[in-house]
A and B are shown apart, each in its own frame.
Chain A
């Protein structure tokens, strides 16, 4: 069955990809804001939760000299590009990579949530936005994979 026309799930693949692209852009905006702060000292305004500065300046915010927010920015950029590759070219290859990267991002976000709650003891609004984005991408990528599987049966 043609990939673009498969509507086997509750949501069409086209809609799933569009929503994923928008969420990836939210993630890009979130991490770009924090990256700009890290390199230019633009200052972060803590929203809703007070702990963002404690989290963002903790020793866990940098790995091998590279701030985690940069990894986040790269992650959402890759997701955005993969979503568009899947949208334009279709095919299982990009979909599989998208699903794998989605799982990796979700697992990493859960680990960062663990660090915030149990190690640092503070929560950061922007990190929670990223957790929400990566979780949504993970769920949407899983739905998308399920749609494709059902379509190919």
Chain B
């Protein structure tokens, strides 16, 4: 009986130990995270700034792509869209290349055109072994200079930009894609356009 009691007290000690660790880190997060995220993700007063951490190869991101596009069309200048790269390279072999292709397009001022075509043709390049050639075709389609595009896709600065976005996402608690931050606050992914629209309208009030 005495041994049973001793064992129970040791297990209770372990339970308290684990709970204490959870509480300490959860409290730490609750007290500091919001400020940290809002400081890191700048947003303009009076406008809704939507930051999306996404992976061009992720099917869920492709599902959200038309919704985000529709939001931009509906809210116009009232909404600021920021796309950040979060390529899940372990499961999506062409995700990093796609991210670099869009960054290379940004250098020639055509990020969103490239962004759109990459999402619209996701099924075509996702599992392709010729993804590089396909992205070059898309680049020509949106009017980019081929040689400049090819040079930029492999440039260190472009690699770094994609990697910096990824690291920033990890730091801000991005766990999967897409993850949205509205005016600096992480939001639960809306289940449809109307829900998304409502969130934007609330942010604008």
Interface residues of A (CB under 8 A from B): 25, 28-29, 32-33, 35-38, 40-43, 53-54, 57-60, 73, 77, 80-81, 84-85, 88-89, 120
Contacts and interface: CB of A to CB of B under 8 A. Distances in A.
Given A57-B170, A120-B90, A37 B25 contact: yes
A47 to B, nearest CB: 15
B3 interface: yes
Contacts of A77: 14, 18
A140 B3 CA distance: 23
Given A28-B17, A43-B29, A81 B11 contact: yes
Contacts of B66: none
Contact of A42 (B17, B29, B88, B167): B29
Interface footprint category on B: 20 to 34
Given A41-B33, A59-B88, A88-B7, A29 B17 contact: yes
A141 to B, nearest CB: 18
A63 B44 CA distance: 41
B173 A41 contact: yes
Given A35-B22, A43-B171, A57-B175, 10 more contacts: A28-B21, A32-B18, A38-B175, A41-B29, A42-B28, A42-B29, A57-B170, A58-B90, A84-B10, A85-B7
B129 interface: no
A89 B170 CA distance: 46
Q: Chain B binding site: helix, strand, loop or mixed by DSSP?
A: helix
B205 interface: no
Given A53-B170, A80-B14, A81-B11, A33 B26 contact: no
B91 interface: yes
B33 A43 contact: yes
A31 to B, nearest CB: 9
Contacts of A33: 21, 25
Contacts, number: 64
A119 to B, nearest CB: 8
A81 B13 CA distance: 11
Contacts of B14: 25, 28, 77, 80-81
Contacts of A85: 7
B14 to A, nearest CB: 5
Contacts of B91: 59
Contacts of A37: 25
A36 B7 contact: no
B3 A36 contact: no
13 contacts: A28-B14, A28-B21, A29-B17, A42-B29, A42-B33, A53-B170, A53-B171, A57-B170, A57-B175, A59-B88, A73-B18, A84-B7, A89-B3
Q: Which 4 A-B pairs have the closest CB atoms?
A: A41-B173, A59-B90, A42-B29, A42-B25
**B11, B33, B90 — which one has the most chain A CB atoms within 10 A of its CB?**
B90
Contact of B29 (A40, A53, A58, A89): A40
Interface string B13-53: 01001100110011011000100000000000000000000
Contacts of B6: 88
A64 B76 CA distance: 42
Nearest to A84: B10
A136 to B, nearest CB: 18
